[in-house]
């Protein structure tokens, strides 16, 4: 975002103009929410504080009862110009009187270290005394990239965060995202960078009159030690749109009769009608599993989804030698084991990992990130009840089904699968099991 602001400034848009847009946008949002109550705007020394000065001046000129409290004098030229517009007193932050509406403009993206204890304590007091806390750009003390949250926002929640110009990683990654409350984007009239792209409803293919089971996508799933995990993935693949799902190896008993069971052999998996192969759920980590994974990756015959146990057996240099796409679906622990801790925000880390592996990476978590080397799609707001055994197997099957569709773009397919999985999770509500989730993919798919 700072790069976008810098580019806008370099192209002739002054910081004062951007700040005016930001301040007016904040004032407009506050006007809708304040309902005539007293407003306290707390301002820091930088441009975030400048946004607050503009917002306060606009609100004052419109007759709203508004006061400013500041931690220090403005330190940037634009923030000084903004403060010059303010006609009222400026209260010292430490002694500021609370108000029912608190507008937090202490620090935004320029935060250079954690908040001092006295600032944090005073913010806690002011926020606790407020009926409504609104943060300009970020709750002060939030690291925009590392997505850490300040203590005060844990004690006295921010209801609304007004993201200025673009979403930053902290607006979508936890714990900061939880501390932001509802996030509203304020347009500053500058081009939004693609750093944070929240995935919208995917454009999913529907069968036409000429469709048959193979044109809808055939998914092959390699089963292993825990046959139930592979079966969950198989049900998910069927219910999320695949036309044909075959389990190779020991798929065990049970599951819908629509799932075809076959022995694992290299010839079967070279079937040209297969649209994508999934390996990993319940696979085990023995030598047989390792050999099967290595053979599939080397064969380069079909797009691959690699999940669970298979991520522990993967030679990370192998996907880049293939021509057909590979999707890796690690949770945080598997991600760290595979890639360590690359630099930057979690979004940067997922993109670096995708570049390193030559694969699409689906980094699973409360916010799931789908990344290629060049782009990320963010899926925030997953139902926390998804934290139950087997939901990862369901996700892997769902992604495999999207990838198996003829002509599928791997990043879009992985993102669509992640979206469907999250939607099914929402439909399930509370205290569900992975089998329910797999079944909920039918209504999730129908509603997309
Ligand atoms: N860059 C731009 O062109 C624009 C920026 N805007 C606003 O400006 C913000 C970024 O402004 P700045 O870069 O001035 O940064 P901030 O206003 O976030 O804070 C920077 C100031 O705070 C001090 N500081 C940082 N961490 C501190 C800490 N822990 N304790 C005490 N002091 C600390 C710094 O020394 C500096 O004086 C954005 O979040 C947004 O609100 C908007 O006005 C639109 C235009």
pLDDT at 248 over 90: yes
Within 10 Å of residue 391's Cβ, how many Cβ atoms?
A: 25
How high is the pLDDT of residue 3?
Answer: 63
304, 274 contact by CB (below 8 A): no
CA distance 328 to 423: 21
pLDDT at 256 over 90: no
CA distance 149 to 141: 7
How high is the pLDDT of residue 251?
Answer: 75
For the residues 159-186, what does the mean pLDDT come to?
Answer: 95
For the residues 206-216, what does the mean pLDDT come to?
Answer: 91
241 labelled binding-site residue: no
313 token code pair:
């057996």
For the residues 173-184, what does the mean pLDDT come to?
Answer: 95
Q: Distances from the Cα of 165 to the Cαs of 8, 190, 209, in angstroms?
A: 11, 7, 45
For the residues 211-233, what does the mean pLDDT come to?
Answer: 94
CA distance 342 to 193: 21
The answer to whether the CB of 365 is under 6 A from ligand 1 is no
How high is the pLDDT of residue 194?
Answer: 52
How high is the pLDDT of residue 265?
Answer: 81
331 labelled binding-site residue: yes
CA distance 112 to 405: 47
CA distance 107 to 55: 15
The answer to whether the CB of 21 is under 6 A from ligand 1 is no
For the residues 90-112, what does the mean pLDDT come to?
Answer: 97
How high is the pLDDT of residue 252?
Answer: 80
Task: Calculate how far, in angstroms, residue 416's C-alpha sits from the geometric centre of ligand 1.
Answer: 37
339, 328 contact by CB (below 8 A): no
pLDDT at 7 over 70: no
75 labelled binding-site residue: no
For the residues 314-340, what does the mean pLDDT come to?
Answer: 97
The answer to whether the CB of 25 is under 6 A from ligand 1 is no
16 labelled binding-site residue: no
107, 116, 117, 162, best to mutate for ligand 1 pocket (most atoms within 8 Å of CB)? 107
The SS3 of residue 113 is coil
Task: Calculate how far, in angstroms, residue 36's C-alpha sits from the geometric centre of ligand 1.
Answer: 29
364 labelled binding-site residue: yes
For the residues 169-198, what does the mean pLDDT come to?
Answer: 88
Q: Phi first, then psi: what are they for 161, rounded to 5°?
A: -115, 130
pLDDT at 34 over 90: no
How high is the pLDDT of residue 29?
Answer: 96
The answer to whether the CB of 52 is under 6 A from ligand 1 is no
Longest C-alpha distance within the chain, in Å?
81
The answer to whether the CB of 47 is under 6 A from ligand 1 is yes
How high is the pLDDT of residue 196?
Answer: 85
CA-proximal residue: ligand 1, atom 22 (nearest): 46
| pLDDT band, very low/low/confident/very high, at 448 (cuts 50, 70, 90) | confident
How high is the pLDDT of residue 330?
Answer: 98
pLDDT at 199 over 90: yes
- Percentage of the chain lying above the pLDDT 70 cut: 96
For the residues 169-179, what does the mean pLDDT come to?
Answer: 95
Domains with residue ranges and CATH for the chain: 12-186 (3.40.50.10260), 218-447 (3.40.1190.20)
Lowest-pLDDT range of 9-23, 38-52, 88-102, 341-355: 9-23
CA-proximal residue: ligand 1, atom 16 (nearest): 110
How high is the pLDDT of residue 193?
Answer: 59
CA distance 429 to 436: 10
The answer to whether the CB of 55 is under 6 A from ligand 1 is no
pLDDT at 4 over 70: no
CA-proximal residue: ligand 1, atom 21 (nearest): 46
For the residues 315-321, what does the mean pLDDT come to?
Answer: 95
pLDDT at 6 over 80: no
The SS3 of residue 329 is coil
Angle (CA) 421-393-269 rounded to 5° is 115
How high is the pLDDT of residue 2?
Answer: 61
For the residues 18-36, what does the mean pLDDT come to?
Answer: 94
How high is the pLDDT of residue 5?
Answer: 64
**Tens-place pLDDT, residues 274-307:** 999 999 999 999 999 999 999 999 999 999 999 9
How high is the pLDDT of residue 276?
Answer: 98
The answer to whether the CB of 49 is under 6 A from ligand 1 is yes
302 labelled binding-site residue: no
145 token code pair:
């990239």
DSSP designation for 198: B
Average confidence score pLDDT of the chain: 94
CA distance 359 to 363: 12
CA distance 90 to 261: 74
Q: Distances from the Cα of 338 to the Cαs of 272, 292, 317, 356, 432, in angstroms?
A: 31, 19, 11, 10, 30
Task: Calculate how far, in angstroms, residue 82's C-alpha sits from the geometric centre of ligand 1.
Answer: 14
How high is the pLDDT of residue 349?
Answer: 97
CA distance 339 to 166: 28
The answer to whether the CB of 74 is under 6 A from ligand 1 is no
For the residues 388-393, what does the mean pLDDT come to?
Answer: 96
**Tens-place pLDDT, residues 413-428:** 999 999 999 999 999 9
How high is the pLDDT of residue 192?
Answer: 59
């Amino acid at each position: 975002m700072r790069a976008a602001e810098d580019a806008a400034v370099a192209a002739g848009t002054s910081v004062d103009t951007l700040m005016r847009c930001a301040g007016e946008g904040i004032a407009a949002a506050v006007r809708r929410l304040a309902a005539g109550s007293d407003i306290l705007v707390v301002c820091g020394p930088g441009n975030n504080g400048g946004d607050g000065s503009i917002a306060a001046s606009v609100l004052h000129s419109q007759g709203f009862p508004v006061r400013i409290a500041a931690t220090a004098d403005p330190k940037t030229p634009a923030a000084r110009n903004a403060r010059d517009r303010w006609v009222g007193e400026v209260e010292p932050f430490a002694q500021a009187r609370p108000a029912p509406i608190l507008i937090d403009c202490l620090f935004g993206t320029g935060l250079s270290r954690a908040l001092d204890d006295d600032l944090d304590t005073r913010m806690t007091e002011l926020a606790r005394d407020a009926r409504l806390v609104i943060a300009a750009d970020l709750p002060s003390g939030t690291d925009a990239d590392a997505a850490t949250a300040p203590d005060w926002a844990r004690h006295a929640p921010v209801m609304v965060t007004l993201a200025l110009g673009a979403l930053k990683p902290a607006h979508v990654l936890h714990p900061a995202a939880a501390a932001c409350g509802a996030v509203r984007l304020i347009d500053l009239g500058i081009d939004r960078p693609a750093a944070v792209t929240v995935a919208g409803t995917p454009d999913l293919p529907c069968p036409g009159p000429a469709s048959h089971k193979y044109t809808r996508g055939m998914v092959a799933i390699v089963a292993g030690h825990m046959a139930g995990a592979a079966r969950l993935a198989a049900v998910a693949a069927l219910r999320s749109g695949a036309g044909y799902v075959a389990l190779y190896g020991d798929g065990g008993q049970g599951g819908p009769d629509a799932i075809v069971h076959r022995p694992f052999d290299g010839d079967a998996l070279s079937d040209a009608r297969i649209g994508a192969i999934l390996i990993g759920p319940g696979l085990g980590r023995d030598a047989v599993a390792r050999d099967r994974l290595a053979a599939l990756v080397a064969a380069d015959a079909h797009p691959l989804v690699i999940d669970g146990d298979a991520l522990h057996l993967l030679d990370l240099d192998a996907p880049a030698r293939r021509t057909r796409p590979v999707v890796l679906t690690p949770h945080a622990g598997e991600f760290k084991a595979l890639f360590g801790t690359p630099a930057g925000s979690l979004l940067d880390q997922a993109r670096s990992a995708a570049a390193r592996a030559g694969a699409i990476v689906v980094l699973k978590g409360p916010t799931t990130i789908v990344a290629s080397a060049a782009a990320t799609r963010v899926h925030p707001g997953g139902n926390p009840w998804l934290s139950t055994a087997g939901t990862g197997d369901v996700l892997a099957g769902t992604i495999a089904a999207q990838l198996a569709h003829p002509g599928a773009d791997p990043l879009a397919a992985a993102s669509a699968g992640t979206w469907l999985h999250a939607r099914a999770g929402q439909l399930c509500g509370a205290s569900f099991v992975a089998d329910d989730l797999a079944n909920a993919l039918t209504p999730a798919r129908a509603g997309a």
